[in-house]
Structure 1
């Protein structure tokens, strides 16, 4: 399922702080948007020195949700310092946002930071993806909706692939091909197109609960095995380089 990045240059131009980058995240990045999915824009803004060194501190995080041309847009940006702090921790969200192929706005700084991303990958990212999968599975058990079920498998497969290869892939259909994931997920992706909160109970050829539980347990085990066997370091070797990037970006 392909997705064409909309022209959101006007949205970028409206921001009160310069943006280092803005990319599309969420269901569109993961490969299973619904017809009524909003567009999750994520990125980095740069606070000027006057909003960092004085008494009036600028916003570390800016959030806004609105409807533009009939499309609901959810925009969240972090200041470059906060984003880079998260990048040097085992945080898969910011990695995926930084490396998202769905680019709305980019700069030389974005490309430089993306080049540093490989040095921020660690074996501890396995904890991030395990935690996200557990949270989404519990949500699926409460709601029975397809969305958290797909999020569960997306997190597990992204984590396994990252720990095995050092490559960040957030697109579930691609991961299914690379890792030979459960065959029924492709049909569930198609079913979710009809509605953001569609129930699994409404899918005629849905997998049995026992099959789902067994498959989730299997991929949790694969994630743990991948972490144990991973060649990725425990801590990010690019920490100092990212620190220098933040300083250079701020003073420039």
Structure 2
């Protein structure tokens, strides 16, 4: 899939080899504004000498700011840290591996994409329930209240429900809504794209979205209870072998 060509330049400047770099955030979720920044996420590989000695390399590399007119937030984790996150109930890292917005890939990335499905467990529901609750609290504190945070609430709830029912990681809200068909979502996206002056909510809006939030929370909890997904990840041994393989390539 085509992405902003200037992103490749910043990927090329990374101090360590990358297994992949993909786009997350609003672009991945399907509702970027013209001024949305680019959230780049990926995996870097520290050389052996920076993981076995007393002085170790950075597990996380971050870069943010405006470069050549491009607002960028780049975060990568070392392969060992990232693989460990894949084995926890962390939906973010699976979304990053599986993002269709790929700036840089590798054969190892393709293998990770295959293994990601075997890292999904029913307990990933807790990740999405927790994120939705935090986002809802933040949106409730805003004055005046805006529709933008609600898009993130809906996104994580629909992603979580869909994951529990199908085992598929889908982060794009518009694609998810082809199944869920929530009529309020196109309007919320249109408000976000129209700018801050069109994005505020009145009391009737807030009451409606409160009802929908409660309903979808209950739906995700029910999907979790009924899910046939595994209790624990099934790809630990393969990830361990892949970690050794990619590390030794840099010896």
**Structure 2 partner of 1:152:** 153
How much does 1:241 deviate?
1.1
Mean Cα deviation higher: 63-72 or 47-56: 63-72
Matched, 1:139 2:141: no
SS in 2 for 1:232: coil
Task: Tell me, yes or no, if the aligned pair for 2:37 and 2:72 is still in contact at 8 Å.
Answer: yes
SS in 1 for 2:207: helix
SS in 2 for 1:67: strand
**Structure 2 partner of 1:5:** 3
SS in 1 for 2:31: coil
TM-score normalised by L of structure 2: 0.94
C-alpha change, 1:86 and 1:47, in structure 2 (3 Å) is: same
C-alpha change, 1:16 and 1:157, in structure 2 (3 Å) is: same
**Structure 2 partner of 1:61:** 60
State the Cα deviation string for residues 68-127 of structure 1 (Å, max 9, x = none). 231101000000000110001000000000000000000011111111011100000000
State the Cα deviation string for residues 122-179 of structure 1 (Å, max 9, x = none). 0000000000000000111011122211100100000000010011100001111112
Which runs of no fewer than 5 residues in structure 1 stay unpaired?
none
CA RMSD of aligned residues (A): 1.7
SS in 1 for 2:39: strand
How much does 1:237 deviate?
1.0
**Structure 1 partner of 2:215:** 218
**Structure 1 partner of 2:169:** 168
TM-score normalised by L of structure 1: 0.93
The residue correspondences of 1:26-175 to structure 2 (distance < 5 A) are: 26-143=25-142, 144-175=145-176
Q: 2 CA distance for matches of 1:17 and 1:153?
A: 36
Matched, 1:238 2:235: yes
Aligned length, in residue pairs: 246
Q: 1 CA distance for matches of 2:87 and 2:153?
A: 24
SS in 1 for 2:128: helix
State the Cα deviation string for residues 15-34 of structure 1 (Å, max 9, x = none). 11001100000011001112
How much does 1:207 deviate?
5.6
Task: Tell me, yes or no, if the aligned pair for 1:184 and 1:207 is still in contact at 8 Å.
Answer: no
